Chain A
Amino acid sequence: MSLVTRKFLVIITLCWSGIAAALPQIEHWQTGNGARVYFVAAHELPMVDVQVVFDAGSARDAVPGTASLTARLLPEGAGDLNANAIAERFDALGASSGSSAGRDNASVSLRSLTDPALLQPALETLALVLRAPTFPAAAFERERNRALVALRAQEQNPGALADRAFYQALYGQHPYAQATLGTAQSVTALKRADLLTHYRHYFTARNAIVVIVGDLQRDAAAAVAETVVGRLPGGSVPPPLPAVAPATGGKAHVAHPSSQTHILVGQPVLRRGDPDYFALYVGNHILGGSGLVSRISDEVREKRGLAYSAYSYFMPMRQAGPFQMGVQTKNESATEALQVLRATLERYRAEGPTTEELIAAKKNITGGFPLNIDSNSDIAGYLAMIAFYDLPLDYLDRFIDQVNAVSAEQIRDAFQRRVDPERLVTVTVGNGK
């Protein structure tokens, strides 16, 4: 609350770069009931991070808001334990646990010390929460009400409104169109039974990934995985999500009494594992992905003083995730900022990067690699991504080479083929009076 930072809201795009020296060694196996386990031993600190990821994000919602509310309900009751007992168990062990849902997946996490007297009961509590959640009726009502309050909070937040309108405009009838939180209407209509159905369908071993990073030997990690998910039913892998239809351009405006207009421009582009990924990732680093030294920030902020934050990114997902450019500026400057944003993209798309820009971007990405894997939480995040999106286990090892192999022409070509100015959707929120 008290800090004011100079640069941008950090956009986490789950991208990293690599050098060979200090790569985490990924070990991979399956539990008896078919959950996939990904483990990296990190013996420096006496702690362990466990993440269980299910293909059970809001893209799987029968009623919008189901996945999110399911995640909120997991720690509200399990086996014989109520919410207070579960919270007390974790807190008294010095462990921290959380659960959340995004569009593609839902995850439950635990951080604990490795002292067996602390770790074992923490793991058993986590296992109970995953295996035997009770979805108490009173807790369901309460958490549904809290979700409705959270939805109302979004109504007073122009950034949240822009985000919501952007996904609706890009994805139309596709499940990605819905906000993870759902809508006031859908959440009001949700029943406890909807959560149970969702849980029974998706929280199964064959639909689960277990990520473990910490001070354990491999056999101990195997025991951790069996403890946490070993008693989940086998279940099955759900069918693929539908493909995303191409965007058809257009504009959406939401009136809001804010002093700034929030502008988002984009279209669906990238699936995880797409062959154009590296060209677009490195290319976007130069366009709007590298903070103040990127072209968009230079044009919007450094040259014109139009905004505090101006950026672009690709967010690869299971199905085509968005390319997004964003800026917030005082209402009077909205037209100018939008023009600068579009002109910067179109020029970059036409010309591609300069040789100097490409060299600088590669140096930044590859030289910064050690920072991206310098903590257990970083490594756990990458492991979850590699595992969930079925990326090759040597993905990190090859990352540097893949980045270095990208040419300026490949970037120009990929932007021309994949980013279409005619199909870009523009969302504005603000200028309400």
Chain B
Amino acid sequence: MKSLAVILLAAGLTGCATAPGPSRVVHSEGPVHETTLANGLKVIVREDHRAPVVVSQVWYKVGGSYEYDGVTGISHVLEHMMFKGTPNHPPGQFSRIIAEHGGRENAFTAQDYTAYFQQLEKSRLPIAFELEADRMRHLTLDPQEAARELQVVMEERRLRTDDNPQALTWEAFSAAAWQVSPYRHPIIGWMNDIENLGVDDLRRWYQTWYAPNNATLVVVGDVEPQKVFELAERHYGPLKPSTITPAKPRIEPPQRGERRIVVKAPAELPYLIMGYKVPTLKTADEDWKPYALEVLGGVLDGGRSARLPRELVRGGQIAASISAGYTLTARLGDLFSFGGTPAQGHDVASLEAAIKAQIEKLKTEPVSSEELARIKAQVTASKVYELDSVFYQAMQIGVLETVGLDWRLLEQYPQRIAAVTPEQIMAVAREFFIADNLTVAVLDPQPLDGAAPRAPAGGAYRH
């Protein structure tokens, strides 16, 4: 590290716009520079000169939450197929070329986005751009390759979900909590939907969503922004835009009463999930509320001194493990969720009661100044720690852009967190953490050996 150039982030926000080429307008704030190509591709570059490496990520505005009944999982299957070749690059060649250049590459699909990335020594960036631009518009989608890849995805679903009782419970929980919102479907898709996907479905999905004007290119690393913009123009510039029809809103109607489900699966341990519907940065009626919920999440589960590990794991010893939180940056309304395993001698009912007692406390007692100070200190420190990863820096920008927020929110985040008051935390707890807005899912363990269910062991182990 010693011999590397040292450039710390410029502290001030130096909002400026320059027009280096005949048509390109670049917006810059500190180390981040943004432009949009004529075909609509947004390009965001963040300089980080710590090491001679670069990460390139292409983010598409499509994912599980863009899907509808019958084709669930299609975004994720298409992500797999993106490695199966174009007329210029036969199947497997993409990965081989990146590997030969010492690169790492992969892709991921979530509810609100599908993203592809390459990490490389900085001089190899053109290789990534050439290959990634090629598959943005020229995917082959061969029927035989698709048939085989669908088998791979079914194995992936068995591995991640079908053979994992807690994952099965989360899947059923989401499907119960949401009736209209597309978050009711699993990202990987229902097995029967995967089994019935065809190459024509995939081609339609590709044509609908894969276009430069539905994508964001994020580059972070030891690069010069102008050169990256020129390179992007060369490789991505010639691609034709599409007419993108936005997904329907599919807003969840208000919940009118608590929902409870039970999932029976072979398992040793019971498991409890509770979720309250809450707004996000995208959907909140007042923009302080998501930040208040974020701080509330920190009060409950931000470090070993937070309330859930302190009161439920160590203090009352009701939980063997417990976590809580939500996705501030979800594109649609989200669930503030709790997931936990009861400690020995306790059942899911006592765990639920203990969580609800913590919620009541949040509604009635202001959070202490020490707790708020701790959360502020953690946010301040994590703003430095996250700079240890160029990948994470790119990821944050990509998520915000792709859900329709602005990467400049990243800079505001510490101030917004610091501005949250104890009264605001009480207010969001009272507004959203109410019984009519709650969904509860319980994993009811069935014998792993296929025998008849055992009587509850040790008094209260199984509920």
Contacts and interface: CB of A to CB of B under 8 A. Distances in A.
B314 A83 contact: yes
A375 interface: yes
Listed from nearest, the 5 A-B pairs whose CB atoms lie closest are A367-B102, A94-B381, A305-B151, A368-B102, A87-B305
Given A255-B449, A364-B100, 20 more contacts: A3-B110, A4-B76, A5-B107, A6-B108, A22-B51, A44-B8, A92-B374, A96-B303, A142-B314, A146-B320, A156-B268, A156-B448, A301-B152, A303-B148, A305-B147, A307-B152, A330-B158, A368-B102, A373-B1, A432-B450
B259 interface: no
A3 B269 contact: no
Interface stretch (A240-248, A285-293, A341-349, A386-394): A285-293
B305 A364 contact: no
Interface stretch (B224-232, B245-253, B284-292, B385-393): B385-393
A196 interface: no
Interface of A: 1-7, 21-22, 24-25, 40-47, 75, 83-84, 86-88, 90-96, 111-113, 118, 139, 142, 145-146, 148-150, 152-153, 155-158, 255-260, 290-293, 298, 301-309, 328-330, 360, 363-371, 373-377, 379, 432-433
A374 B312 CA distance: 39
Interface stretch (B13-21, B161-169, B404-412, B428-436): B161-169
Nearest to A304: B148
B310 interface: yes
Given A156-B165, A371-B104, A6 B79 contact: yes
Nearest to B339: A1
B92 A292 contact: yes
Contact of A22 (B4, B268, B303, B378): B4
Nearest to A303: B148
A3 B63 CA distance: 10
Contacts of B264: none
B340 to A, nearest CB: 11
Interface string B302-346: 111110011001100100110000010000000000000101100
Contact of A370 (B52, B110, B305, B374): B52
B52 A149 contact: no
16 contacts: A6-B83, A6-B107, A83-B314, A87-B304, A91-B377, A94-B380, A146-B313, A149-B343, A153-B341, A156-B268, A257-B448, A330-B158, A368-B121, A369-B102, A370-B121, A375-B389
Nearest to A298: B92
B109 A3 contact: yes
Contacts of A298: 92
Interface in B1-40: 1-4, 6, 8
Contact of A21 (B52, B120, B266): B52
Nearest to A328: B159
A240 B226 CA distance: 57
Contacts of B103: 364, 367-368, 371
A371 B117 CA distance: 14
